[in-house]
Chain A
Amino acid sequence: MYRFNYHRPTSLEEAEQRLDAGEDALFLAGGQTLIPTLNLRLASPSDLIDLAGIDGLSGIDVADEMVRVGAMTRHAEVAASADVQASLPVLADLAGQIGDAQVRNRGTLGGSVANSDPAADYPAAVVALDATVHTTRRTIPGAEFFLSLFETALQPGEIITAVEFRVPKRAAYQKFPNPASRYAVVGVLVAEFDDGVRVGITGAAACAYRSDDLETALNASLAPDAVDAVDIDYDRFNSDLHASAEYRANLVRVMARRAVEALLREG
């Protein structure tokens, strides 16, 4: 690991000031991606600004039709939360599939979302559950948050404080994990709202996105067979050792179909 300065601010203002003051400073949330990256010397920030000392960034609030998860809430808390399990079970289910048990005990929602790893799970929920990303400066609609590979709508110094998920009538997440890393090769979250079906896909492309094609088909008929008729365009899909773009397209279809089946089982 290269050398860096470590700060543990106690307020968001101080965190932002620290970031501005650092030559090449980075925020540190749960660290489950960042610390291994630093350990491999793949990043060399001047300063790490640990957000763990700031009150109010962690916790889960369930209100009417809305579940708000603080940015520093650990994946394990979301997965085990009785409130989330009752109000938005798909989110608890998804959080319980991130990484492994140790990662879930440290990793945070805000860290995962801010990183925009193309294979992370949470982004599928952010785009499909009509989320609102709350930051120190504004609110960003979930569907507009992820821009590309490791690139989000966040401005330099902007900190995610919470993500608010809209509660659908029914929803399900299906993940095809990478057998080595356990990240998502493909993850599909299908959510049925009063105003239509939303489909969030992670793993397949440069960043998580909503699938217009699948949404159109499922809005016409919320049935497994409707998925089969969709031609998944994989021109821009990722292709690597573990899955070609074409195979990822198949997995999108299969996971989407299974998500629909699971969602319908909810009744």
Chain B
Amino acid sequence: MNVEFTVNGTAHTLDVEPNTLLVDVLRSTLGLTGTHVGCDTSQCGACTVHLEGRAVKSCAVLACQVDGGTITTIEGIGTVDDLHPMQEAFRECHALQCGFCTPGMIMSAIDLVERGEAGDEGSVRAGLEGNICRCTGYHNIVRAVLHAAQRM
């Protein structure tokens, strides 16, 4: 079936099978491999993108459900030369190691700050409940989010 949506500002019309996850369209069809798949039960959050500006797990959304929608992925929030404040903060605070959970973590963190729920350490920790990181112990991720919240 035909689906139209905008990804990182570019409009796409794609023919997708109904049983296609949004994450598979992003990665395989559009080549946006910054969005990762870390689990198959919709728990790890590595596939988090923004749909209509809000963080969602793209492994728990069908491509056909987002017909007419607007999606932003990690590739769409900043560039190497013009980083988003959250990207900048992750680098400055050493909030990543292997980098695999990082795009999803950053997308969740941006939504968290934009919702106004990143006021203190406790709320940041609670707000990142939907993203699993195995490398950092979260310590520096929490620092980075609090840091970015000041700048966003």
Give A contacts to B, CB under 8 Å: 1-6, 8, 28, 31-32, 35-36, 38-40, 48, 50, 52, 76, 80, 99-103, 105-106, 181-182
Let me know if B54 and A182 touch, CB within 8 A.
Answer: no
Complex formed: what's the CA distance from A163 to B61 in Å?
A: 24
> Measured between alpha carbons, how far is A6 from B61 in the docked complex, in Å?
13
Per-residue contact bits, chain B 37-57, to A (CB 8 Å; 1 contact, 0 not): 000111101001001001111
Tell me if B19 and A101 are in contact (CB < 8 A).
no
Contacts of A6 in B (CB 8 A): 1, 18, 62, 64
Most buried by A among B48, B51, B67, B129: B129
Partner of B127, one of A28, A31, A36, A101: A101
- Known contacts A8-B67, A31-B61, A105-B54; is A38 also within 8 Å of B111 by CB? no
**Interface size counted on chain B using CB atoms at 8 A:** 32
B75 within 8 A of A: no
Secondary structure call for the B interface: loop
Q: What CA separation (Å) do A181 and B1 show in the bound complex?
A: 34
Nearest-neighbour CB distance to chain B for A119, whole angstroms, equals 14
Within 8 A of A (CB), among B103-146: 108, 111-112, 115, 127, 129-131
For window 1-60 of chain B, which residues contact chain A by CB distance below 8 Å?
Answer: 1, 17-21, 40-43, 45, 48, 51, 54-57, 59-60
* Beta-carbon contact of B130 and A103 below 8 Å: yes
Cα–Cα distance between A257 and B53 once the two chains are bound (Å): 39
Q: A36-B41, A40-B41 are in contact. Are A106 and B60 (CB under 8 A)?
A: yes
B54-A3 in contact (CB<8A): no
Contact pick for B45, options A2, A4, A80, A102, CB 8 Å = A102
User: Can you report 19 residue pairs joining A to B where beta carbons are below 8 Å apart?
Assistant: A5-B18, A6-B18, A6-B62, A8-B64, A35-B21, A35-B61, A39-B59, A80-B115, A100-B131, A101-B112, A101-B127, A101-B129, A102-B130, A103-B130, A105-B55, A105-B111, A106-B60, A181-B43, A182-B129
Q: Complex Cα distance A106/B43, Å?
A: 14
A105 B45 Cβ-Cβ under 8 A = no
Shortest CB distance A180–B (Å): 8
Asked, given contacts A101-B108, A101-B111, A101-B129, whether A31 binds B65 with beta carbons under 8 Å apart, the answer is: yes
A108 to B: closest C-beta gap in Å: 12
A35-B62 contact in complex given A2-B19, A4-B19, A101-B112, C-beta closer than 8 Å: yes
A179 to B67, CA, bound (A): 35
Chain B min CB distance to A133 (Å):
24
